Amino acid sequence: MTTTFFQRVEALCRERNMNISDLGPAAGIGVGTIPDWRKGAKPRMATLIKVAAYFNVPVAYLTGDTNDPIDYANLDTSGFNRTTYEHILKKCKGSVEQANREYLEFEQAQAQDALSDPNRLAIYQNNGGTVGVQGHAHAPVKIINGTEYALSEQESELLRVFADLSLIEQSKVLVYAAELRDKNGGS
């Protein structure tokens, strides 16, 4: 009988395109213990900590005590807006874990607001062929949204770079773009 721990470790290995047998040497744990996990054996706390650190997830996620795989206590905050983050940290009375969670929720809400702006072109949506992107990476791209708009070379490059970013990085870009738009007074 496999445990939540083993299922989650197995899934984390799959996400990283690695074999679970490669986890031992990579995380600095004995490979002999991994087959026992499949049978339901529970790892020692020291092993749990090593596995959690390797995957950058909280121990509570591995044990099934939470379904949130983000290790808020050890999150890299170097890319956060310092002013906003410090305000949230103060509001959270210095709790880094809570501040990190609230900051990410704030950025997600900002990104959703930016995406729901009716003045923004719907680039990645497809509504029966009337909204979408036409073209490919090295050719002019046309956006059809009731009117036709040809993207400049810089706009096409921006879309290419944007598509390569993580969801959090995309959120940051959208928030920054919305701030720039608002600062310049318009649409």
Q: CATH number, domain at 33?
A: 1.10.260.40
Are 47 and 86 members of one domain? no
Token pair for 128:
């029966």
Q: Where in the sequence is the domain holding 129, given as residue range(s)?
A: 82-183
Q: Grade residue 50 by pLDDT with cuts at 50, 70 and 90.
A: very high
Q: What is the pLDDT of residues 77-109, one digit of tens each?
A: 888 888 888 999 999 998 998 998 898 888 888
Same structural domain for residues 29 and 57? Answer: yes
Structure tokens at 181: 């738009």
Q: Read off the pLDDT of each residue in 51-59 and give the average, rounded to a whole number.
A: 90
Q: Taking Cα atoms as reference points, which of 71, 80, 7, 12 lies closest to residue 37? A: 7
The residue out of 69, 101, 116 marking a domain boundary is: 69
Contact 84, 41 (CB under 8 A): no
170 part of a folded domain: yes
Residues 39 and 89 in one domain: no
Whether 171 maps to a domain, the answer reads yes
In a domain, 115, yes or no: yes
Q: How confident is the model at residue 136, as a pLDDT? A: 42
Q: Can you give the pLDDT at residue 9?
A: 93
Whether residues 92 and 150 share a domain: the answer is yes
**Do 54 and 140 reside in the same domain of the chain?**
no
Q: What is the DSSP track for 42-95?
A: PPPHHHHHHHHHHHT--HHHHHTS-S----GGG---TTS-HHHHHHHHHHTTT-
Phi, psi torsion values for 143, nearest 5 degrees? -105, 125
On average, the pLDDT of the chain sits at 78
Quick one: what percent of the chain has pLDDT higher than 70? 77
Query: What's the pLDDT band for 110 if we cut at 50, 70, 90?
Result: confident
For residues 112 and 21, state if they share a domain. no
Q: What is the pLDDT of residue 118?
A: 55
Domains identified in the chain, total number: 2
Q: Are residues 30 and 109 in the same domain?
A: no
What was the pLDDT predicted at 8?
92
165 pLDDT tier (thresholds 50, 70, 90): confident
The arithmetic mean of pLDDT across residues 132-151, rounded, is 51
Q: What is the sign, positive or negative, of the torsion defined by CA atoms of 175, 176, 178, 179?
A: positive
Do 168 and 97 lie in one domain? The reply is yes
The answer to which of 10-24, 85-99, 151-165 has the lowest mean pLDDT is 151-165
Percent of the chain past pLDDT 90, that is, above it, reads: 13
pLDDT at 115: 65
**Cβ atoms 47, 63 nearer than 8 A:** no
φ, ψ dihedrals at 83, nearest 5°: -60, -50
| Rounded-to-integer distance, Cα 153 and Cα 141, Å | 9
Question: How far is it, in rounded angstroms, from Cα 34 to Cα 41?
Answer: 9
Give yes or no: residues 16 and 92 share one domain: no
In a domain, 155, yes or no: yes
